[in-house]
């Protein structure tokens, strides 16, 4: 089993995916792999999400398929059974923290108190969410002093314009974002353009 930090080191960008069909998810993940990203956060925001996780995990065995928007233990068990390699939640409850999970959880935090609560439960890797609303880069810099051993994947309001600034921070291992998987392109079936956007995003981070 990968650790949460190992999941965060798979790619500088974890695409936050919301799809309306299994076929859509497979075509989208193929486009991302062709663009150089082999990790997927398929969110539980649509009716087909569990089926999509199952299909993507089987179709792309060399990629890392995870579930996002996991809100409770029941959903956690569902995504484990579907073949997810990791889970991400927008927050952390006692129910989630005490669940005997077989895959790593990256819980969401927004404040110092929530980070301290997560540390008390044994977590030291978090999703900062919603990053742009709760202080973004300034908040992450401020958290760096009292929480030296904590790492983050900021998500929410991350885009091509600010991605490099986030990733320049020592306590940021990766970023989560939907800007490389625009809904309009998915609906149009323009997966070739998503591959192009993904390649350009990764190239910009390396330059």
Q: Are 151 and 175 in contact (CB under 8 A)?
A: no
Task: For residue 100, give both structure tokens.
Answer: 């005997």
pLDDT of residue 207 exceeding 80, the answer is no
CATH of the domain at 116: 3.20.20.70
Cα–Cα dist 136/75, whole Å: 28
User: Which residue out of 100, 127, 170, 188 is catalytically annotated?
Assistant: 127
Is 127 considered catalytic here?
yes
Query: SS3 for 126?
Result: strand
The per-residue pLDDT for 30 is 98
The total number of structural domains in the chain stands at 1
96 found inside a domain:
yes
Beta bridge partners, 126, equal: 152
DSSP string, 158-186: --TTTHHHHHTSTTB--EEESTTS-HHHH
Instruction: List the Cα angle 26/102/151 in 5-degree steps.
Output: 85
Structure letter (DSSP) for residue 152:
E
Cα–Cα dist 125/157, whole Å: 20
Taking residue 73's Cβ as centre, other Cβ atoms within 10 Å add up to 16
Of residues 62, 176, 185, the one with CA closest to residue 127:
176
User: Which residue out of 41, 80, 170, 206 is catalytically annotated?
Assistant: 41
63 found inside a domain:
yes
pLDDT of residue 121 exceeding 80, the answer is yes
179 found inside a domain:
yes
The per-residue pLDDT for 105 is 98
Residue 17 main-chain phi, psi, to 5 deg:
-110, 135
**pLDDT tens for each residue of 60-91:** 999 999 999 999 999 999 999 999 999 999 99
207 found inside a domain:
no
Range of the domain at 90: 4-201
pLDDT category, 180, cuts 50, 70, 90? Answer: very high
**pLDDT tens for each residue of 19-71:** 999 999 999 999 999 999 999 999 999 999 999 999 999 999 999 999 999 99
pLDDT mean over 108-131? 98
Mean per-residue pLDDT over the chain, rounded: 97
206 found inside a domain:
no
């Amino acid at each position: 089993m990968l650790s949460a930090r190992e999941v965060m080191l798979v790619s500088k960008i974890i695409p936050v995916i919301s799809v309306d069909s299994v076929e859509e998810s497979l075509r989208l993940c193929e486009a991302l792999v062709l663009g150089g990203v082999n990790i997927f956060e398929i969110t539980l925001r649509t009716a087909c999400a569990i089926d999509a996780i199952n299909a993507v995990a089987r179709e792309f065995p060399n990629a890392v398929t995870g579930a996002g928007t996991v809100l409770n233990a029941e959903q956690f068990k569902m995504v484990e059974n579907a073949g997810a390699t990791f889970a991400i939640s927008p927050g952390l409850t006692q129910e989630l923290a005490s669940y005997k999970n077989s895959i790593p959880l990256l819980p969401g935090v927004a404040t110092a108190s929530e980070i301290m609560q997560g540390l008390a439960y044994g977590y030291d890797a978090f999703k900062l969410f919603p990053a742009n609303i709760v202080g973004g880069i300034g908040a992450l810099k401020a958290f760096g002093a009292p929480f030296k051993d904590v790492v983050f994947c900021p998500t929410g309001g991350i885009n091509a314009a600010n991605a490099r600034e986030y990733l320049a921070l020592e306590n940021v291992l990766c970023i989560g974002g939907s800007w490389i998987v625009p809904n309009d392109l998915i609906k149009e079936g323009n997966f070739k353009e998503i591959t192009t956007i993904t390649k350009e995003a990764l190239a910009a981070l390396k330059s």
